[in-house]
Structure 1
Amino acid sequence: MEAIASYRESFLNYLEQNAPQREPDGLYAPIRYILDMGGKRMRPVLVLLSADLFGGRVSDALPAAAAVEVFHNFTLIHDDIMDAAPLRRGRATVHKKWDLNTGILSGDAMLILAYQQLEPYTGEAYPQLMRLFSRTALEVCEGQQFDMDFESRDDVSLEEYLNMIALKTAVLLGCALQMGAIVAGAGAAEQQAVYDFGIALGLAFQLQDDYLDAFGDPERFGKQVGGDIIENKKTYLYLKALELASAGEARELQDLYSIQPARPEAKVERVRQIFQESGAAAQARQRIEAYTEKAFSGLDRLEGRSRAKAVLKQFGEWLLKRDF
């Protein structure tokens, strides 16, 4: 999409111009490193897209877009520490390139920098943005804690899992869209409509991310394939496989998720087989499609915003166009 490329270019120029260049370099170099890793920049693009579609100026939404992106990358630094992940977007994670303490402190600084991005806003927009951003930041932390709790629980339900990924991933997409709408001065109903679109799209995106963690091409996926399996994370694939597999395979799957073998590759391969043979992999793809359709159908609430609906649908299709 040409529009997406334009939003992304505007944001990248702003990010480059506002990258922290202060001392000490040991604090700020890791921040510049992770912000320079690339990626689709979908969250800041959503802020700019939403502001534009509701009649605002893209330039006015750039600080809000930076707040969302800096916060998101803060969570990535700390997530990678918690997961002991060696790679992020195909490159060494911050705590691997530097050390654990640097990852913690640079991440903390990023959270503060994210809030500082909202300081230019005035009037009613400022408290609205702050309330939404703070609520979302706390929800993301809640989602991360649920995610960690689930690793040691054997009774996680599909409903609990979907709530966790809504908090950990989807709320930030909804927040990005609503922040753009706030900057543009959109009404409460329109803000809610784009927020709900972001939630449904985020659920589809996270389920797809979980699927690709098990079945994606590591070169295209940019992360260690099978990482969730190695970490015994109760993803949709795991929970659905327990529901659909034979009693024997279900017990085997539970046993595999209770160990950390010397050769994790064998564990990953066997779990992948169970996901496929039980039908869980196919069910995951169907659920991804269902959430995608829910996101698009919800756009009908944007009455009189035909361009907004069309562009948001295009964005959703672009975002979810990743190889299975």
Structure 2
Amino acid sequence: MMLLETYRERIDQALMSLVQQREPAGLYEPIRYVLSLGGKRIRPALCLLGCSLYHTEKVSDSLYPALGLEVFHNFTLLHDDIMDGSEMRRNAPTVHKKWDDNTAILSGDAMMILAYQLISRTPQKALGPVLELFSQTGLEVCEGQQYDVLYESRNDITETDYIEMIRLKTAVLLGASLKTGAIIGGASPEAAHHLYQFGMDAGISFQLQDDWLDVFGDAATFGKNIGGDIVTNKKTFLLINALNNLSAAGKKELQFWIDKKDFDRDEKVKAVRNLYEDANVSISAKKRMNEFLQKALLHLEQAGGSAAIQEELKTFAYGLMERSR
């Protein structure tokens, strides 16, 4: 079994014990619920891998900070679901739908505090840098979410704007997870920086791939209906690229579908996907994915550490890009 899978199992077991038997149930039951919905546990597992890359015997020291990162990640999803009005998460009702908005807000707040409690259990020698990194990352995730909300009502978003948004909203937490483990494992500042950049660039590539899969992927293996971003006019790399590269007539037709309030879902998805193909956005997106993946792998090489763990992290990065096409 890959070390990453072993760490995921360890994280799952530890998460389930975090808020057992805690009262009041109205506060903690939604937390138990959202943590029980599963997920890939990528961030905490990367924290443990980041530590073991430099010092295998210190992996246990990174367990509580890793749990804090996962609780924080799930807190952001809980509040994002309220902001987006999402009804389902991981094939189950979202917390604000199963309970109500007030419950989701308060339980989310408690998760944020719990995340800080867990992060603060970092060994004293590494505590200062880890807390500073976690606080900075938390702010950046909020900045990314605000940009995402802002971009919903704007049609002048550039590809650079979009990549900066997904860097903040998604990628920095992957980088911080790895760097947290690296700091605890005793990595040099330079090595920890390169490992952070590896995680961040891999995260950007991952999100670009997610955008691509939502339009061109296979619904059976992607795990959700294709075209969801098209239906909601979500400002993805593909939409922005199409708006910037279509002919005048193509832009007019795309804007028609963006503005249309009443439509047949399948008809809209098919029409917009055809426009994307006219603008060659699939090729552009794959090119950018690969650029960020190659940057990530270069940083991983410069991060040093255990050759075996490096190979596992490389496999992880390629695995992100090998989801169903």
Counterpart for residue 147 of structure 1: 148
Provide the identity percentage.
47
Cα separation, 2, equivalents of 1:307 and 1:154:
46
Cα separation, 1, equivalents of 2:225 and 2:28:
26
Contact 1:87 / 1:223 at 8 angstroms: preserved in 2?
no
What do residues 199-239 of structure 1 show as CA deviations (whole Å, max 9, x unaligned)? 11000111111222333444543445433233322110001
**Residue correspondence of structure 1 range 64-213 to structure 2 within 5 A:** 64-213=65-214
Decide whether aligned partners of structure 1 residues 31 and 265 sit closer, same or farther in structure 2, where only a CA change above 3 A counts: farther
> Which sections of structure 1, spanning at least 5 residues, go unmatched?
none
Amino acid corresponding to residue 203 of structure 1 in structure 2: I
Please state whether the residue corresponding to 1:124 is helix, strand or coil.
helix
What do residues 238-258 of structure 1 show as CA deviations (whole Å, max 9, x unaligned)? 011122222211122123223
Amino acid corresponding to residue 52 of structure 1 in structure 2: S
Cα separation, 2, equivalents of 1:111 and 1:222:
28
What do residues 172-203 of structure 1 show as CA deviations (whole Å, max 9, x unaligned)? 00000000011112110111010000111000
Cα separation, 1, equivalents of 2:133 and 2:78:
22
**Alpha-carbon offset, residue 168 of structure 1:** 0.4
Amino acid corresponding to residue 33 of structure 1 in structure 2: Y
Counterpart for residue 37 of structure 1: 37
Cα separation, 2, equivalents of 1:151 and 1:298:
33
**Alpha-carbon offset, residue 300 of structure 1:** 2.2
Counterpart for residue 280 of structure 1: 281
What do residues 2-26 of structure 1 show as CA deviations (whole Å, max 9, x unaligned)? 2111111111121122244312222
Contact 1:193 / 1:299 at 8 angstroms: preserved in 2?
yes
> Which sections of structure 2, spanning at least 5 residues, go unmatched?
none
Amino acid corresponding to residue 312 of structure 1 in structure 2: L
Counterpart for residue 52 of structure 1: 52
153-162 vs 230-239, which moves further:
230-239
Contact 1:44 / 1:68 at 8 angstroms: preserved in 2?
yes
150-159 vs 32-41, which moves further:
32-41
Cα separation, 1, equivalents of 2:254 and 2:215:
14
Counterpart for residue 270 of structure 1: 271
**Alpha-carbon offset, residue 260 of structure 1:** 3.2
**Residue correspondence of structure 1 range 10-29 to structure 2 within 5 A:** 10-29=10-29
Decide whether aligned partners of structure 1 residues 162 and 221 sit closer, same or farther in structure 2, where only a CA change above 3 A counts: same
Counterpart for residue 318 of structure 1: 319
Decide whether aligned partners of structure 1 residues 85 and 304 sit closer, same or farther in structure 2, where only a CA change above 3 A counts: closer
What do residues 100-148 of structure 1 show as CA deviations (whole Å, max 9, x unaligned)? 2222222111111111112222423111111000000000000000011
**Residue correspondence of structure 1 range 247-266 to structure 2 within 5 A:** 247-261=248-262, 263-266=264-267
Counterpart for residue 2 of structure 1: 2
Please state whether the residue corresponding to 1:154 is helix, strand or coil.
coil
Under a length normalisation based on structure 1, what TM-score does the superposition of the two structures give?
0.93
Cα separation, 1, equivalents of 2:231 and 2:138:
27
**Residue correspondence of structure 1 range 209-224 to structure 2 within 5 A:** 209-223=210-224
Name the count of aligned residue pairs: 324
Cα separation, 1, equivalents of 2:225 and 2:83:
15
Counterpart for residue 231 of structure 1: 232
Decide whether aligned partners of structure 1 residues 76 and 183 sit closer, same or farther in structure 2, where only a CA change above 3 A counts: same
Counterpart for residue 299 of structure 1: 300
Cα separation, 2, equivalents of 1:46 and 1:17:
20
Contact 2:54 / 2:305 at 8 angstroms: preserved in 1?
no
Decide whether aligned partners of structure 1 residues 69 and 278 sit closer, same or farther in structure 2, where only a CA change above 3 A counts: same
39-48 vs 224-233, which moves further:
224-233
Decide whether aligned partners of structure 1 residues 177 and 239 sit closer, same or farther in structure 2, where only a CA change above 3 A counts: same
**Alpha-carbon offset, residue 290 of structure 1:** 2.0
Superposed CA RMSD: 1.9
Contact 2:171 / 2:201 at 8 angstroms: preserved in 1?
yes
210-219 vs 126-135, which moves further:
210-219
**Alpha-carbon offset, residue 313 of structure 1:** 0.4
Under a length normalisation based on structure 2, what TM-score does the superposition of the two structures give?
0.93
Decide whether aligned partners of structure 1 residues 304 and 116 sit closer, same or farther in structure 2, where only a CA change above 3 A counts: closer
Decide whether aligned partners of structure 1 residues 92 and 216 sit closer, same or farther in structure 2, where only a CA change above 3 A counts: farther
**Alpha-carbon offset, residue 263 of structure 1:** 4.0
**Alpha-carbon offset, residue 261 of structure 1:** 2.6
**Alpha-carbon offset, residue 310 of structure 1:** 1.5
